[in-house]
Amino acid sequence: MGLQRHDRTTGHSPPGLPPGSSAGSCLPWESGEPLRAEGVAPTALPAEGATRAPLIEIYPFGMGFVFRGDDLRPHIEMAEQAWIFMEQTIKERKFDILILDELTIVLNLGLLTIEKVMDFLTRKSDDLHIIITGRDAPQELIEFADVVTEMTEIKHVYRKGVSAVKGLDY
C-alpha cells in the first residue's frame, strides 16, 4: 500500500487541503496529518477480474472536542472550510463513496446548517454513495436517507476510566 503523509517540516499537504486542518478524525496516526492510501491489501481485492485497487483518500478536518461554553466561531470556520474543500474535491474528481464522519455532531452543534447538507445531498450525482456518521441525526436527514443504523454501546473501555487516545478516539 502506498502511503503519502503530510510533511510537517515543510508544511506540504495534498493539493487543495487548507492549511491548519487538524484533529477530529479517528485515524491511527498523529491527528491532523492527512494520509493518502493508494490501494488495499491484495487479499481485500475481489477474487477475479480485479486489476487495480481503488484509491482511498482521507482528509481529516476539525479542531478536536467542543465543550459547553467554547467559542464556536473557529469551529464553524473550520467546518465551512472542510465543506468547501469536500464539495470542490467532489467536483474535480470521481469518487464512488464519500464518508462524512461525525457530520451529525457538526449539525447538532450548529457548525453547519442542515439546509446546506440537504442541498448537497439532493444535488449529488446518483453514482456517489454517501455515508454519514454520528449520534442523534436530525430527523430531516433520517427521513431522506435510504439506510439508517443505530449503534448501541455494549461495552467500552471508558467505563473502566481509560482516557480517549489521540489519533484513535479523536
Tens digits of residue pLDDT in 138-155: 999 999 999 999 888 899
Q: What is the pLDDT of residues 55-106, one digit of tens each?
A: 788 888 888 888 889 999 999 999 999 999 999 999 988 889 999 999 999 9
Q: Please compute the mean of the pLDDT values over residues 118-138 and round it to a whole number.
A: 95
Instruction: Pick 52 or 58 by higher pLDDT.
Output: 58
Helix (H) or strand (E) run with residue 58 in it: strand 55-58
pLDDT at 31: 38
pLDDT at 5 over 70: no
N- to C-terminal Cα distance for the chain?
Answer: 24
Contact between 45 and 65 under an 8 Å Cβ cutoff? The reply is: no
Tell whether pTM > 0.75.
no
Cα–Cα distance, 54 to 46 (Å, whole number): 11
Cα–Cα distance, 91 to 102 (Å, whole number): 22
pLDDT confidence bin for 16, thresholds 50/70/90:
very low
Where b means 16+ CB within 10 Å and e means fewer, 82-97 reads bbebeeebbeeeebee
As to burial, measured by CB atoms within 10 angstroms (0-12 exposed, 13-18 middle, 19+ buried), residue 62 is buried
41 CB neighbour count, 10 Å cutoff: 8
